[in-house]
Chains A and B, each alone.
Chain A
Amino acid sequence: MVEIDAAGRTTREVNRAIRQRIAESCKEVVLRNPGARHNLAVAILEDAHIRIAGSAGYYCGGLIDGPSIEVEGSAGWGLAESMLSGTVRVHGSAGSGAAAAVRGGTVVIHGDAAARLGVSMKGGIVIVAGNCGYMAGFMAQKGTLIVCGNAGEAFADSMYATVCYVGGEIANLGTDAVIAPIDAGEAQQLEKILSTHLPATLRSTKPAAADFKKVVAGRKLWNFDKREWRTWQEAL
C-alpha cells in the first residue's frame, strides 16, 4: 500500500501519481486530503484498489476499466460515468448523474443518490442503499439498478431493457415504466447481489429481496405507433 497526499498537488499531478504507483505494481493506493476535488482517479485501466480518504468531487472514477475505487466520504456529479468494468463504492452520498452510461462493473452507494442516477446505463449493477432522486434510470438500456430506499419522481422513464428494483416507495413512475411481478428465482438472485455488495450491517436494515418492487419498461415506446400518440406526447 502506498499513500499519495493530494494537498498542494494539481489534479493532473495526483492522477499521474496514481497511475505511476499502479505501473510500479502497487495494488493499493490511498489518496489523502482529496478535498472533494474533481476528476480524481479517472480513466484507470488496471486492476488496483484506490481508496480516497475523504470526499471526491465531480466525475470520480469516470471511464475506468478494471480498478476498484472506494470513496470514504461523498461524491459529486457524474460518479463512475461510462465505466467499463471494476467497482466504485461510495460510503457517503453521491451527486447527480451517478453511474450514468455505465457499460459494466458495479457501483455501490451506501448513502443517497441525487437526480439522474444510472441514466442511459448500458450494463453493470448499480446499488443505492439509501434513496435516489429525480429521474433515476432514464433511458437505461441494460444492467440492473437497485435502490433499497425510496425512489424520486419519474422513476425509470423511457427505459429499454434495464431491470430496476426498489425497496421503498416510488414517488411516481416515469413514462412507460411498469411494476412487474418478482418471482422466487429473481428474488434469490437479487438477495445474492445485495448480500455480496452491501456490508452485512447495512444489508440487515434493508427490506428482504422478495419485498422489492421490480420495475421494467412497458415496451410501449420501443416501436412508434401513432395510435399511442398520447403516450408519445408525454414522453417527448
Chain B
Amino acid sequence: MCGIVGYLDKVGTEGGNVGSVLLGMLTALACRGPDSTGVAVFGQHRPDELIAQIKLGENGNGTEYARKIEETGKEFGGREFSQTSAYLRFVFTETNDLHAFITRVEATGDPVEVVSVGRRLEIVKQVGSPSRLEKTFGISAFQGKHGIGHTRLSTESVVDLSHSQPFWGHGYPDLAIVHNGHITNYHQLRRRYEQRGTRFYTENDSEVVAVFLVDKLQQGRGLHTAIESIVRELDGSFSCLVATDSALAFVKDAFSFKPLVFAETDDFVAVATEEVAIRNAIPGDFTVREAQAKEVRVWSR
C-alpha cells in the first residue's frame, strides 16, 4: 500500500497554502499508510541561505545533541535555531561544500541525521498519522507553491522516523522523492552505490530511488531524462513523485502495478495514489485520470 501525494500551485504566490492542501490529501490516504507520515514542502527562497532539518534521535529527546549541533551549525553561519519534537531546524549560509556540513553535523552522534537541506525544501516526517504530523509540526501552516507527501505502510523495513518518507536526495539540495511500491533490484543497486562510497541511511528500498536520481543529476542529466531512466533501470513496482525547487514530477513503472492519478488545470497540478485524496483537498469541477504505464510527467513552477 502506501499513499503518495503531490501538489503544485501554478498561479499562486509563495504564500500559497501547500501545507493545508497536502494535509487534506494525506488525511484521505491515512488508511493506506498507518505507520508514518511525512511531507516535503518548498517555501520561500532566501538568497544565499540554506535551510536544514536535522533528526536528533528517534524519540525526540536529543536536546544534548541539539546544543552540540548548534555550535557546529554556527561555524557554517547557522542561525534561527529551533527544536520541534525530534528535529532541529536552522538556516545557514549557502556553501559549495555541503558534504563537509553533513559530515560534521552527523558526527555529533549515531542517531543524528540530516533529513533535508535546501534553498526552499524542508522535510518533516515521523511515525504516526497525518493528524499527528499536523499536531507536532502544524504542517497546514506551511506556505509555498509545491510539495509532496507520503503515508507509509511498512512491508520490509522497520517503522521509525528515518525509514519514513519523503526521502531527501541526500547531499543534493532541494531534491525529494516519495515512492509507493517495491524496488526489486534494490540490493544490486545498493551494492553498486556502496562500492562507490555512497552511504545508505536506511534499509528502506525507496531510499535507492533518491540515491539513483542524485547520481543521474550529478552526471549532468536533466530532470526529465533522469526520471525517464528510472523506468529503464529500476525493477519492480513503483509510482514515484519527485520534487525539486522548481518542478514536480511523477513516474510509473512499466507494468502499471501501483495506482497514481492526477489532475491538471490552469491553476494547479494535483497527483495522488487515489482520487479520493484530491477530492478531499481541492474543491471544484476538474477531471482526474490515472497515469499510464511508463508515463513520466514533469511540471515546472
Contacts and interface: CB of A to CB of B under 8 A. Distances in A.
A133 B293 contact: yes
Nearest to B263: A74
Given A74-B287, A115-B256, A134-B255, A57 B293 contact: no
Interface residues of A, number: 27
A57 B289 contact: no
Is the contact region of chain A dominated by helix, strand, or loop, or is it mixed?
A: loop
B290 interface: yes
B276 interface: yes
Given A92-B288, A95-B259, A95-B261, A153 B276 contact: no
B289 A92 contact: yes
Contact of A35 (B254, B261, B279): B279
A103 interface: no
B288 A73 contact: yes
B292 A74 contact: no
A21 interface: no
Contacts of B259: 76-77, 95-96
Interface string B257-298: 001010000000000001110111000000111111100000
A209 to B, nearest CB: 26
A75 B111 CA distance: 45
A36 interface: yes
A37 interface: yes
Contacts of A58: 274
A36 B290 contact: no
Interface string A68-94: 000001101100000000000000111
B256 A134 contact: yes
Interface in A27-81: 35-38, 54-55, 57-58, 73-74, 76-77
B140 to A, nearest CB: 20
Given A55-B288, A92-B287, A74 B275 contact: yes
A55 B293 CA distance: 22
B255 A57 contact: no
Contacts of B275: 36, 55, 57, 74, 76
Nearest to B293: A134
A112 to B, nearest CB: 6
B229 to A, nearest CB: 19
A19 interface: no
Contact of A36 (B274, B289, B293): B274
A93 B291 CA distance: 11
Top 8 nearest A-B pairs by Cβ distance?
Answer: A115-B256, A36-B275, A114-B290, A93-B289, A134-B293, A36-B276, A95-B290, A133-B292
22 contacts: A37-B276, A38-B276, A54-B279, A58-B274, A73-B288, A74-B261, A76-B261, A76-B290, A93-B287, A96-B256, A96-B290, A111-B287, A111-B289, A112-B289, A114-B289, A114-B291, A115-B256, A133-B256, A133-B292, A134-B293, A152-B292, A153-B293
